[in-house]
């Protein structure tokens, strides 16, 4: 896959995750389970492909992207399994992790989108 294709998959997975996060008043997901699963699969594909592609250029971005994805997954599981009170440290940590993951996701997408431009300039020199 090309870098821009990976970036487009990342944008699509983010938009799909926003769309599928809608809930009704009782906390049940409104979106079909197939769409939620597709969102998860696209996020995994993007994370793996972006990590492999960015490993030589920006290793720290790859490490933070994968680690924030794993931490976010674990914290989401903890929130689903346990009954947490409002203001719990797990909820605060989960929200902080979501912000960090979002920033790293956007930075990785920007790096992937602009990487081809830098590769072409190296060839021309």
Q: Is residue 15 pLDDT above 60, yes or no?
A: yes
Q: Which residues partner with 23 through β-bridges? A: 29
Listed in sequence order, the residues at least 6 apart from 60 whose beta carbon sits closer than 8 Å to its beta carbon are none
DSSP one-letter string for 17-33 = HHHHT-B-TTS-B-S-H
- The model's confidence at residue 104, banded by pLDDT at 50, 70 and 90, is very high
User: Model's pTM, two decimal places?
Assistant: 0.82
- Residue 46 token pair: 């993007």
Q: Is residue 123 pLDDT above 90, yes or no?
A: no
Q: Is residue 11 pLDDT above 90, yes or no?
A: yes
Query: Which of 1-5, 28-32, 71-75, 119-123 shows the highest mean pLDDT?
Result: 71-75
98 close to 72: Cβ distance less than 8 angstroms:
yes
Q: How many CA atoms lie within 13 A of 54 on its CB side?
A: 28
- 3-state SS, residue 37: helix
């Amino acid at each position: 896959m090309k870098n821009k294709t990976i970036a487009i998959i990342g944008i699509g997975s983010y938009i799909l995750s926003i769309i599928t996060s809608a809930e009704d008043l009782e906390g049940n997901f409104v979106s079909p389970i197939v769409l939620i699963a597709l969102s998860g699969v696209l996020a995994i594909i993007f994370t793996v492909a972006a990590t492999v592609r960015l490993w030589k250029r920006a290793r720290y971005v790859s490490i933070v992207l994968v680690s924030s994805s794993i931490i976010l997954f674990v914290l989401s599981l903890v929130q689903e399994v346990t009954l947490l009170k409002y203001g719990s440290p797990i909820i605060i940590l989960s929200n902080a992790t979501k912000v960090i993951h979002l920033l790293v996701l956007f930075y990785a997408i920007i790096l992937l989108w602009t990487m081809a431009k830098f590769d072409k300039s190296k060839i021309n020199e």
